């Protein structure tokens, strides 16, 4: 097995992880909300008065972060080895899983695990195992 050292970015990864943890902690401390992206975006789709501005700011921050990052370092080239149909099916399955699992990887994996939620442990383990199985099946059984 060869390692692609171009994709080895420990400092950028550390900084990203620290910023994700800091933003999740600040959101729960100052707003009493869990930083689950699916719940935040879902709240924009069914808006409640006085509950929209922080959601727009959070999603706007997610959208603007790559632009800010690009000021300091070039964005990596992204190559997706899947067709449009496969991406649509994958997106629908992720949406279904997020709804079925009552949250996404950010809500369960970042916020839920840090709060010691057993439900989030079960959800995160399920997400990860499903991801491992999907990659194995797609790359090895259908290759």
Written as six digits, the tokens of 110 are 């970042």
Give residue 5's pLDDT band: very low, low, confident or very high (50, 70, 90): low
The DSSP code sequence of 43-54 is: HHHS--TTSSHH
Q: Using one digit for the tens of pLDDT, what is the confidence trace for 73-105?
A: 888 788 888 889 989 998 898 888 888 888 888
Three-class SS state of 73: coil
Mean pLDDT of the chain: 87
| pTM, entire model | 0.76
For residues 103 and 67, what is the distance between their CA atoms, to the nearest angstrom?
27
Residue in this structure with the two tokens 């902690």, named with its chain if needed:
25
| Measured CA distances, 120 to 35, 70, 100, 108, 123 (Å) | 13, 33, 13, 5, 5
Average pLDDT over residues 25-52: 89
Residue pair 101/108 in contact by the 8 Å Cβ criterion:
yes
Q: Band of the pLDDT at 26, cuts 50, 70, 90?
A: very high
Is the sign of the CA dihedral 134, 98, 110, 42 positive or negative? positive
**Predicted confidence band at 56 (pLDDT cuts at 50, 70, 90)?**
very high
Decide if pLDDT at 141 tops 80: yes
């Amino acid at each position: 097995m060869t390692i692609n050292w171009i994709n080895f970015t420990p400092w950028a990864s550390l900084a990203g992880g620290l910023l994700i943890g800091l933003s999740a902690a600040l959101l729960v401390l100052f707003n009493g909300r869990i930083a689950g992206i699916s719940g935040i975006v879902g709240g924009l789709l069914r808006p409640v008065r006085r509950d929209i501005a922080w959601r727009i700011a959070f999603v706007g921050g997610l959208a603007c972060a790559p632009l800010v990052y690009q000021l300091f370092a070039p964005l990596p080239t992204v190559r997706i080895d899947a067709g449009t149909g496969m991406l649509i099916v994958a997106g629908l399955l992720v949406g279904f899983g997020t709804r079925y699992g009552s949250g996404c990887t950010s809500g369960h994996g970042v916020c839920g695990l840090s709060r010691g939620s057993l439900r989030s442990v079960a959800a995160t383990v399920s997400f990860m195992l499903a991801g491992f199985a999907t990659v194995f099946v797609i790359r090895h059984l259908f290759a």
